[in-house]
Amino acid sequence: MSSENSNENTFYLGLCMAGAVSAGSYTAGVMDYLLEALGEWEKRKNEPGVPVHKVQIPVMGGASAGGMTSILTTTVLNSPHTPIDKPSENLLAEHPENKFYHTWVDLSQGDVLDKMLDTSDIKSGGLTSGLNSAFIDEIAQRVVTTEADKTKWLPLPGYIKPGLKIFSTLTNLQGFEYTADFGPDKPQTRKYHMSIHNDYACFELTETEILGSNGGWVPLNLKDNINVDMARDAAIATGAFPVGLKSRLFSRDASYVNANLWLKKYLSNNPVDPGNYESLNVDGGLINNEPFEKVRDVLFELTGQEAKAYRDFSTFTSTVVMIEPFPTQKPKPISKFQGLMNVMGLTLSSMINQMRSKPVEISDALSKSCAAQFLIAPSRFVNGPEGEMVNVTGELAIACGTLNGFGGFLNKEFRVHDYFLGRHNCKIFLRDYFTIPESALEENEIFRQGYANADRARFKSTKDDGYQIIPIFAETTDYSFPQLKFKSGGSWPILEEKDIDQYKSRLKDRIQAILLNLADLSGSSKFLIWAGAKIVLNRVLSNAVIKKIKRDLVTWKLLPEQDN
């Protein structure tokens, strides 16, 4: 057992935040309530009957929107923060007092699709992405901006382990070379060259100077503005959705790369050259969208606990909670049609699925017999066809789930809904599902001591015989879903066709600018391309895109069924 785990009454909670695109608003809502619940428990531990064990977060990491939110969370910990449990009278009002909400719901002055369709980023020979990505830079700068007035600086909360590890996954397009040698004398001709492209931006939160590579974790000192720009660049790089958003450069000293927990076994015989190491990256979720196994690695290193003990409620001293706006589904049978477009699509999805495959099944997170990992995923109740309440789960439960996660950029109401659903789901999760079974309570030393003088009935799950790992105070917690009233008049945001049609002109302009840029011609040839784009191509393509958007919105019941 690691000496760092000398406090036997401390339980360690590792957080994994999956890729989510605009559904980062859901993850933001989950995190907003999770930190609120931990803070409330810290304040009330001296009250009679309250469990006294300790829960600390030593690591959090993720991909894409999840990686951005992990980095965002570090900037909330030492600053005044106001949780938002209910919507204001003006449903679309901005909330700069809450960085989770302001970053993911307010985004960039409301709806951002206009900015994403702006053509100012397209220059001759300089097309970098299908959509204008400038708004990402605005948001990322907001992510890492901390209170300039140090008199407002707050001590690190007790539920955060000093030296908090934070990471985001990256897809490194250059990759890291390594070789397998064949033959006894192993000359150069008998080397099998390979490369890996999964990369990681890793930070350690600190308020003191850290020298050396420190196991590959870059010191992040928000108070003294040390490596804050690097954290911002990492947040941008992990969210660089391939083709749709601009690829990103990320730089750090080679020593951090060579010492990285997840890279050093590949680089031991072929390390990165000393000095500054710069990589070109796209979205970290392309290769590893749910890096819960990496969170677990940090927990293993911290606790020294073996896998068998880690999976058993009677002996576990840590666990992983994954926030997953898009839970994986059982694969559906493929179409065996041999048409080129069908095979191309299946080939791409097969490559991505293979890259993301893991030695541990994600479905284990749903098993109540496995203490190693827990899952927070979208869930909401709707009225069924017979008036009964139906539980909708997964991506269909969130408004931002449409358009492969880009739907939230269409309308702020989508993000408002998902933020409050995230908070609501986190409340129910902590109350009823993030628990230790009664049968293991007396056997697990951490929780036996923690609940020794507790009023157990107050902190019991309403679903089974489990007891809350993070105690929730029912007398001050409203478990009902907020009464949201959107423009449509209901609690679920529904758009009109005109809300989508308004983007036709901007979409045509964007498509035309892309076509002209791809056809790097001059004179009469460029005029002909322009004329063709103006008359036929951009109209056909923009109509196809608008049709696709509407079709997806209908599937998500965010747009009424169309007549044709």
Per-residue model confidence as pLDDT tens digits over 90-125: 999 999 899 999 999 998 765 688 889 999 898 766
Quick one: 119 and 216 in the same domain? yes
Helix, strand, or coil (residue 203): strand
Final residue before a domain boundary, out of 425, 451, 474: 425
**Does residue 108 lie in a domain region?**
yes
Cα 405 from chain centroid (whole Å):
12
Quick one: 47 and 164 in the same domain? yes
Quick one: 249 and 130 in the same domain? yes
Round to whole Å and give the CA distance between 296 and 318: 9
CA 556 vs CA 398, 423, 496: distances in Å: 9, 21, 14
> H helices within 392-471, ranges in order?
412-428, 438-441, 445-450
**Does residue 257 lie in a domain region?**
yes
* Nearest residue to 81 via CA among 163, 159, 162, 154: 154
Find tokens 């360690």 and name the residue.
Answer: 12
Q: What is the average per-residue pLDDT within 138-156?
A: 74
Residue 415 has pLDDT above 70, yes or no: yes
Stronger pLDDT, 444 or 126, i.e. the higher one: 444
pLDDT on residue 496 = 94
Q: List all residues 6 or more positions away from 151 whose beta carbon is below 8 Å from its beta carbon.
A: none
3-state secondary structure 148-181: CCHHHCCCCCCCEEEEEEEEEEEEEEEEEEEEEE
State pTM to two decimals.
0.90
**Does residue 229 lie in a domain region?**
yes
Quick one: 259 and 387 in the same domain? yes
**Domain holding 40: CATH number?**
3.40.1090
Quick one: 48 and 164 in the same domain? yes
Provide the domain limits for residue 504: 498-556
Find tokens 């993850």 and name the residue.
Answer: 27
pLDDT on residue 333 = 82
Whole-number mean pLDDT of the chain?
A: 86
Find tokens 């269409």 and name the residue.
Answer: 410
pLDDT on residue 376 = 95
Final residue before a domain boundary, out of 383, 405, 425: 425
- Give pLDDT tens digits for 247-272: 999 999 999 999 999 999 899 888 99
Quick one: 163 and 310 in the same domain? yes
**Does residue 179 lie in a domain region?**
no
In this structure, is the dihedral angle defined by the CA atoms of residues 457, 462, 466 and 469, taken in order, positive or negative? negative
Tokens, residue 200: 């990681």
Final residue before a domain boundary, out of 407, 425, 443: 425
Q: What is the average per-residue pLDDT within 404-428?
A: 94
- Give pLDDT tens digits for 226-250: 999 999 999 999 999 888 899 999 9
Quick one: 389 and 505 in the same domain? no
212: left (phi over 0), alpha (psi -120 to 50) or beta: left
- Give pLDDT tens digits for 424-465: 999 999 999 999 999 999 999 999 999 999 999 999 999 999
Query: Which residues in 140-166 are b (16+ Cβ under 10 Å) and which e?
Result: bebbbebeeeeeeeeeeeebbbebbbb
Q: What is the average per-residue pLDDT within 335-358?
A: 70
* Domains of the chain: total: 2
* Nearest residue to 58 via CA among 102, 6, 5, 18: 5
Residue 29: pLDDT band with limits 50, 70, 90: very high
**Does residue 400 lie in a domain region?**
yes
**Does residue 67 lie in a domain region?**
yes
**Does residue 551 lie in a domain region?**
yes
Quick one: 516 and 373 in the same domain? no
**Does residue 91 lie in a domain region?**
yes
* Nearest residue to 404 via CA among 355, 466, 456, 352: 352
- Give pLDDT tens digits for 324-340: 998 766 667 878 777 76
Find tokens 């099944």 and name the residue.
Answer: 361
Quick one: 393 and 514 in the same domain? no
Quick one: 503 and 421 in the same domain? no
